Structure 1
Amino acid sequence: MFYQRFTFRVIAGLLLINLCVILLIYLVITTRFWFTITGLAIFTTLMVYTLYGYMNQLNQDIKRFRTAVNTRDHTLAFSKKAARSSFPELYVTFEEILRSQKNIQLEQDAFFQLTQTILQQIPAGIIVLKENQQDEKPVEISLLNTAAADLLQTPSYTYWHRLAERNPEFAAEVEAVRQGGKRFVALTVADKKVQLSLEVVPLQLYQHNYSIIYFQNIKDEIESKESEAWNRLVGVISHEILNSITPISSLSDTVNSLIADKQSLNAEDLEDIRPAIQTIRRRSEGLLDFVKDYRLIAELPAPDLKPLAVGETLQHIKVLMHPFAAGKQIRLQIEQTSAKITFSADLKLVEQALINLVTNSIHALEGIKDPHILIDYKLEGRKVYITVTDNGKGITAEHMDKIFVPFFSTRNQGSGIGLTITRNIMKMHSGTLEVSSIPFQQTSFTLVFNAIEWKSVN
């Protein structure tokens, strides 16, 4: 009601106090009714005290609300006061704010529990470090999931220095990339050798510095990939050897049967033996070439790294491969630029890698209408990309995972070592070989090097 409103009650109280004060002054000056004067003074004092208590109660409620918000105390309620106070809207707002804050807190707690559950179920180790602003305080471990404790065979410590004392090798590797980075490490944990992929991500949140340490055991994965690669390699080698040994063995039996129990050979016997011997020789030479190819893959020379200009390197390739491409009626195009991009590499090995890629493109363009090969390059993110692109037959999805297997080839006369050698050359240069293909439209092989210098030519 209107008489319960704050403004009305304050104005009425102030007017009544003023009237009492005026009347009290008048009585003191004009009369000697001391009993009346004393009663009026007491009444005026009570009015002032009542008005002050009314104002102070509101102030106390505001303080209680502010404290509840700061301390996230969701037990405080203003619903009763909202029904009988002079500020129903204010107390209703207080109630709504506290209820909203409670709901937000519950949602945050639920999401935190969900995140904690997910992190505990992840098979990779995760450790979150919280660095204190004061140097004398130790670094705290905000999170150490189950996988991290199992991989490191360590309890859930509260402080990083305790874990570092238990696993000094791991702590040293983490410190090496503490500012951010990734590396592969080999550690001894509980007298067992483990190989870890370790990554540290620095992060700043709410004026605190965090370090997220992510690591996983890749020993089993590496062994699985090695086993798979060896199985593929052994399969290819066995296939090639059997292809050569089977006819050699068969022809040897044939020759042996022709000369068995004979002291001398006539012209007819020699005519029968001669093609068998020639075939044995040819297959033996093929087997010898196969072994040489294998040694070529396994015994690549260490690169002699020197600064190379991309443009000059591609010019060498143009001189070497243009006659071969022209003889096949293939248009070989090499993009030029006014900029010099320099990277560290071995010229002979890089030329060999590019020759392998261009040669593969030339063979892939057999029977293709308007065949062309484009070689271009670019500098992006301090990396040099040299790309060989053709519009040939391309690589099917079925063969994409096999093209780097030694001796695998889709050509009848192919050795199957060109791409293997090329990828090994890139690994020796700490680079990568990337491939993408849309059959009969565009196939690209890209050599990725780390650039060391970039200059514009005026």
Structure 2
Amino acid sequence: MVFKRAIPPVVWPLTAQAGVFVLGAFGWLALTRGLYASALVCGLGAITLAWLGLSHSALVLGRDLLKRTQPGAIFTAELSRRRLQVLLDQTPSPLLLQPDNGQLIAVNRAARNLFDVSYALPVAARRALLGDTSGAAPLGLAGMASQIKWKGQTFAVHIAEMEEADHLSHLAVLTDISADVRAAEANALRDLLKVLNHELMNALTPVASMSKSALDLLGDDTPESRAAAVKALERVVARTEGLTDFINAYRALTRLPPPVIRSCGLNLWLEVLCESFAAQWGDKGVRFETDIADSDLSLMMDEDQMWLGVSNLLNNGAQAALEKPDPRVRLRLKRDGEAVLFEIEDSGKGIPAENADQVFMPFYSTKATGTGVGLSLAKQIIAGHGSALVLASPQAHRPDPLGGACFHFQIRIG
């Protein structure tokens, strides 16, 4: 019976070292006696033994090192993976991963709870999120909408690309913005109601005043008073119809409707504008001054929208002028080539330089009771006519300045 025993790892290096020593001694002895061939053989033998010893040591050392480190490396990798999964499960935002096989994988607990799955989303859920995936080229996460709704919640979608060894994966992060969307909708509704209330009050105040004047005139029962009453009622009807059309369009689109620009007589339009301003601000002591070089012109504009825009500028000027004694508002019109330059100026305190860039912002107001829609709406109306509403600088040269704010814009002659 033959017994095979493994040679202990330490024996090979010691044996090799002893053999190298013995062969070296014999080689030196042969060399000193002139036996060069024997010395060469001893030298080659010593080199061979040394190489075998080193090779065996390296092999044993590598094997031992691998045995000691491999289990630890596997354990460390598994520990890192579990830690990452725990962190992902603590993330409140649902995470979806789409590898190259087209599946949608719920990466963390939030995603699994949202879609009621343990790993991959079913086909119905994928179609609801990505569209019809039955075609030859199904949609991926990269084509997902920027916002989605799921189970009554609204999520913002952020897509990230992840490059792997041989393919590209996509990761979707879903952020719950339901509360923000509801707050934005509430703010938009409140702002819309502010605008509608502002415009209704500005338009209905002169209508109510002219209606009362017409009623008083009818009580006189004279041909002159009846004619004046009929004229006042015609103005009331015209303003009411224009306001009704504007409000209906604004309510339907929740924005300013596009202007219907056509040639309008400036003379009659100014007459209605002046009567409306006098009816609203005359009894409050605001003087209305006009400086009109040529009113026998026709302008290319939407008559009702421009009336609202200029009325807003005049009303803002009147409110500002009331802050100082002898309140005045001035409307100046002068021809500038193929256009008419409008200037609306008041005798108020003016607009501070630090507020000059903000006065046209929607719902920004420097007055405690202001809604902040007058100037922004006027700017939008004038922009729709291809012009720009500009706040003149305090240093701008104007004849007989009133000392307050001055706005100007141009309208093309038709």
Same fold (TM over 0.5): no
Tell me which protein shows more strand as a share of its residues. Answer: 1
TM-score by length of 2: 0.43
